[in-house]
Amino acid sequence: MKNLYIVLTLCFLALGGCDDRYRYTCQDPQHFADAQCQKPVCEFTQTCPEYLVAPVLEKKSEGNPAQAPVQQSTASNCR
């Protein structure tokens, strides 16, 4: 039972150190306007926001509500 408490305590401590981070600076919507995230600087390392972030997420960060594209089923064309 004592080992269980130790394991649970270690798990809580390990998860307590978790933080939301971006792998690349230019993935963070707050840094889209930074000089390092603008062309031609970001093209060499391919860290431009349009390379790293889906266009839907980029539109949301600009404050425009993005709507997901609607796909229509074409079941009649399936064979």
pLDDT, tens only, 13-42: 777 666 678 888 998 989 999 999 999 999
Asked if residue 56 is part of any domain, the answer here is yes
pTM of the model: 0.45
Tell whether the model's pLDDT for residue 66 goes beyond 60: no
Residue 69 lies in a domain: no
Q: How many domains does the chain have?
A: 1
The verdict on residue 35 lying in a domain is yes
Q: Which positions ≥6 away from 65 have C-beta within 8 Å?
A: none
Range of the domain at 52: 22-63
**Is the C-alpha dihedral spanning 16, 22, 23, 24 positive or negative?**
negative
